[in-house]
Amino acid sequence: MAVHSRRYIPQKGDRVIGIVTSTHGETFKIDIGSADIAFISFLSFEGLIAHLILHISTLLGSVSD
């Protein structure tokens, strides 16, 4: 986290917890508490039953390119 800022600035490799704000097609839109919005594909949840994926509200992940 940048110490000169009160807002989180994502850095590659950071572990983040995000709140799912909406879905678009097969993608979650996730608020990670920064100016950037995160997106993750439903396909990232291999083996999860489809109706369970649609009820996810919070995710843990890491920042990548």
Question: How far apart (Å, rounded) are the C-alpha atoms in residues 37 and 19?
Answer: 10
pLDDT tens figures, 5-26: 677 888 888 888 888 888 888 8
| Nearest residue to 48 via CA among 32, 40, 19 | 40
Whole-number pLDDT of residue 43: 79
pLDDT tens figures, 31-63: 888 888 888 888 777 776 666 666 677 776 777
Whole-number pLDDT of residue 57: 78
Residue 28: which pLDDT band, with cuts at 50, 70 and 90?
Answer: confident
The answer to pTM > 0.85 is no
pLDDT averaged over the chain? 77
